[in-house]
Amino acid sequence: MGKHLNLSQRILIESNLNENTSLRKIGKMLGKPHTTISREILTGRILVKGNRFNNFNTKCTKTGKAPFVCNGCP
């Protein structure tokens, strides 16, 4: 298998993240280390103003560690 993730693998990561699957389980499905998955999430983020995952008004502590997203907690 190649060094990089292909589009179908990235789509699988996205769909499993939406189902709250752990990074370790996603990594096992793809045959990749969980750190590769977390790096892919970090580099593949798109910051959209007003998106609940990217709240610009407050600094969420969850965005500093894997999976690098905030669920909009109060």
Render pLDDT for 30-46 as a digit per residue (tens, 0 to 9).
Answer: 999 999 998 888 877 66
Pick from 7, 69, 73, 1: which is nearest to 38 by CA?
A: 69
Which structural domain, as residue segments, surrounds residue 36? Answer: 7-64
Does any domain span residue 70? Answer: no
**Which positions of the chain have pLDDT values less than 50?**
1, 54-57
Does any domain span residue 44? Answer: yes
In 32-71, which ranges are E strands? none
If you average pLDDT over every residue of the chain, what do you get?
A: 75
Asked whether 30 and 7 are in contact (CB, 8 A), the reply is no
67 cis-preceded (ω within 30 degrees of 0): yes
Does any domain span residue 46? Answer: yes
**Where are the alpha helices (H) located in the chain, listed in sequence order?**
7-18, 23-30, 34-44
CA–chain centroid gap for 18, Å, is 9
Does any domain span residue 71? Answer: no
